Structure 1
Amino acid sequence: MDTKPTPFVPPAPKPRTSPPSTIEMMRIVYRNPLELWGQPSYNEPWISIGTGIGGPLLIANDPELIRHILVDNAKNYRMARVRQKILRPILHDGLLTAEGDVWKRSRKAMAPVFTPRHIQGFAAPMLSVSEKFVAKYHDGMVTDVARDMTMLTYDILAETLFSGEIAGNPDEFAHQVDHLFETMGRVDPLDLIGAPDWIPRITRLRGRKTMAFFRKLVSDTMQMRKDKLARDPEGSPNDFLTLLLKAEGPDGLSRAEIEDNIITFIGAGHETTARALGWALYCLAEAPWERDRIEAEIDEVLAATPDPYEWLGKMPYTRAAFEEAMRLYPPAASISREVIQPERWRDLEIIEGAQIQIMPWTIHRHRKLWTDPDAFLPERFHPENRDKIDRYQYLPFGAGPRICIGAAFAMQEAVIALGALMSRFRFDTLPQTKPWPVQKLTTQPQGGLPMKVSVR
């Protein structure tokens, strides 16, 4: 008799059955863009809308069309204006927002840190930080796992890329990240209607103090390291921060570009992994039959394999659960581009100036691409099933030249963190654990993830 449990279907907005009015759309986009998308976005290969706010719009869901836009003809698609209006006030010329030669210089300067050899070297400190963090838990405590994962991934980032030398108070940092995403990390209605930049955006005005906090933190961090390099160049860590500082010069990065890239990594680089870890622990708590299998895997691997660098390859079920959490709750829910030159793709006319939306949120839940798309089913990513997933139907880290430079770093970090967390503790939901996914730069659980921690 088949006793396979009914899959857990985590909370998400239902596809709309009718389009919103213009005013309603602006309200939804400000409050939570994930609630905007209708049934065609979850069922059609693409949707081409001739007119609308911001001009013509193409929503691309077909994996081959996505490959064309992000890879094969990526040079014809620049960063979309509305996306840049949200991110550039925060990140300026950081890696996520820079274009052209500035982006190329930044990517080249950072590439050595994210080679496989360097990432392997990060495994031991990732585990050390995770174990130290886990030691704060005790049996029966109730905690907001969403906030905890922000702090854990911040600690890992600080230790690996900055050798533990980031200025400021980590507790204050977590509060400031929340405020940053609540204010400047949202679409402002004035951006949607194309209002001139000189008209103040209320959301960004509310975020000015937070941005000043981050800018000062980065400036102090850079100065601390410069002083150390001047005092003891041989004894200073040769990490991400030092690499960026040494890249300053006429053929490298300007001081402002270095500052922007540090803000990008401190302010946003850890946040995507944090959100995915929180969602993974939540989904596993609601699917205990999946959690049992992962706990058994973690126990077996930790008993036999002390080197955490090997965990990613030896924990396929743990990795699969994390990847499935990123499918259901992609950290970056949208990828936005703008067409430079008109072109034809098959029978689709792509208009000059059209806004392109590639939505991991809807693509990862698309009815023609996935079986039981709304359910939490880690088996999709088990080794025997991975080949069934098209490269361009699963986009947690993007694709093409602008694919996330830290993707391998994040995957290693996530599996090591889950190994450390779940080897000692079990995380269970409570009656008040009612998260709702909201898009604010990343896909965040509104209301947090209050969970009970129990010793295993």
Structure 2
Amino acid sequence: MTETYTPFVPPAPVPRTTPPSRFEIIRTVMRNPLELWGEPSFRLEWLKTRFFNERTLIVNHPGLVRHVLVDNAQNYKMATIRQMVLRPILRDGLLTAEGETWKRSRKAMAPVFTPRHARGFAEQMLEQSRAFTGRYETAAANGEVRDIAVDMTELTFDILSATLFSGQVAGTEAEFAGDIDRLLSTMGRVDPMDLLKAPSWVPRFRRMLGKPILAKFRAIVEETMTRRQALMQTDPQNVPEDFLTLLIGLQGPDGLSFDEIEDNIITFIGAGHETTARALGWTLYCLANSPQDREKVEAEIDEVLAREPDPVKWLDLMPWTRAAFEEAMRLYPPAPSINRAAIADDSWDNGKGETVTIEAGTTILVMPWTLHRHTKLWDRPEAFIPSRFLPENRGAIDRYQYLPFGVGPRICIGATFALQEAVIALGVLLSRFRFDCTDATKPWPMQKLTTQPEGGLPMRVTRR
């Protein structure tokens, strides 16, 4: 008798059915912006509203997403509130820079993240993933419970440090796991003064709490850069040819300034591995609650690892593993919001006689959180169904309805790197261990720049 497949529905805020008051908006945005969205945002193709007397357009139609982020991207700058939150942390890093600074940085870093170059990192990803599993051996033997959210942060830090910085980041992964969480909990969240568009000199209390942590981060990066610069001068024959060396080599009048290099290192150490870490944690959590899907992933991993030792090929040979990771990113997008502001008046025709007019100054919200759960775009959008991302089913997914890495000129430069990293890490972890939920595993999705599990992901680790 065939076992009935019942998709797992992971936790998420129930869409609001009544508009929140101004006070509720402030309180919810401060606590968890994911709890703010109403039912129309998951049903309508676009929605015009006013947010603190500011014209706002919520975009859920793939054609309109393409128009704003690709076809007419030059008319849409970074939204003010987004920059108020991110710029104090990342300054002129790739995620926050604009204009010529962004163009110079993007052009300079693009060669490191080509698919060909990313494949060159596969062996290091494999080595770091295998080394990381050593800490699970005792836990698995004793059936211990570990916080997988913290573990994945440490694993992705190890991988990032080894691949892009040749293991020469001045800090340790244990420091970064706690520091990043504290940084995002303080400086990575919207402040009421941001909503009111108060000048930057008006104090943001929560952000002030995060300044010592940010100062620590920048001190570590400065030490890392100083060490590498010294090595480049004293022993040039033994300088690693990695991302760090590339960036430092770009310093000069026609390249990047010292501060811009520091900002980009902060961006990749902080934001670059944080997003992948969160997606890996959510993937393991969802698979633990979906035994049939986990069996398919485990069987696939066992079969591939038995015959193909080259990790470069795993991404193509493990469609179920990749699909589980991509489905977890659909339900819990690492970056749950993409914010823009219209520079000049604009309009878009949906081809059915309906025109969306966009006035200059309008804030545009392309929300992967609502787009990925939209009732007109997805079948059972609330459920974990990895099979929708299998190669034979991907044709039904519009390019502009699934945006885990963004899209257009500002698409995540490390998307290929992250996908390869995730499949290799999952291949190693799930070939050796099984991760199961406990009574304490009750994560709640919370937006702190990334979609994080409030309460962590305590899971029991056992040997397969």
Equivalent positions of 1:159-308 (< 5 A) are 159-308=162-311
Measured after TM superposition, the shift of residue 120 of structure 1 is 1.1
Runs of 5+ consecutive residues of structure 2 not aligned to the other structure:
350-354
Deviations 1:41-72 (A, max 9, x none): 000000012x3316100000000000000000
Alignment-mate amino acid for residue 37 of structure 2: W
2: distance between equivalents of 1:44 and 1:386? 23
**Counterpart of 2:64?**
65
Runs of 5+ consecutive residues of structure 1 not aligned to the other structure:
none
| Match 1:421 to one of 417, 429, 447 | 429
**Counterpart of 1:454?**
462
**Counterpart of 2:319?**
316
Deviations 1:85-119 (A, max 9, x none): 00000000000000000000100111111122211
1: distance between equivalents of 2:16 and 2:65? 23
Alignment-mate amino acid for residue 154 of structure 1: F
- Secondary structure at 1:372's aligned position in 2? coil
8 A contact 1:297–1:315 mirrored in 2: yes
Measured after TM superposition, the shift of residue 137 of structure 1 is 0.4
8 A contact 1:436–1:445 mirrored in 2: yes
Equivalent positions of 1:20-419 (< 5 A) are 20-49=20-49, 51-53=50-52, 55-138=54-137, 139=140, 140-346=143-349, 347-419=355-427
Deviations 1:125-151 (A, max 9, x none): 000000000111032121000000000
Measured after TM superposition, the shift of residue 203 of structure 1 is 1.3
- Secondary structure at 2:435's aligned position in 1? strand
What is the total number of aligned residue pairs between the two structures?
455
2: distance between equivalents of 1:6 and 1:117? 39
RMSD over aligned Cα atoms: 0.8
Alignment-mate amino acid for residue 399 of structure 1: V
Alignment-mate amino acid for residue 289 of structure 2: E
**Counterpart of 1:9?**
9
Measured after TM superposition, the shift of residue 231 of structure 1 is 1.4
2: distance between equivalents of 1:404 and 1:169? 25
Percent identity between the two aligned chains: 64
* Deviates most, 94-103 or 165-174: 165-174
- Change over 3 Å in CA distance of 1:229–1:280 after alignment to 2: same
Deviations 1:305-360 (A, max 9, x none): 00001000000000000000000000000000000001121211101101000000
1: distance between equivalents of 2:439 and 2:424? 29
TM-score by length of 2: 0.97
8 A contact 1:54–1:192 mirrored in 2: no
Deviations 1:391-436 (A, max 9, x none): 0000000000000000000000000000010000000000010000
* Deviates most, 410-419 or 345-354: 345-354
- Secondary structure at 2:88's aligned position in 1? helix
- Secondary structure at 2:236's aligned position in 1? coil
Alignment-mate amino acid for residue 182 of structure 1: S
- Secondary structure at 2:51's aligned position in 1? coil
Measured after TM superposition, the shift of residue 268 of structure 1 is 0.9
Measured after TM superposition, the shift of residue 169 of structure 1 is 2.9
2: distance between equivalents of 1:275 and 1:163? 23
TM-score by length of 1: 0.99
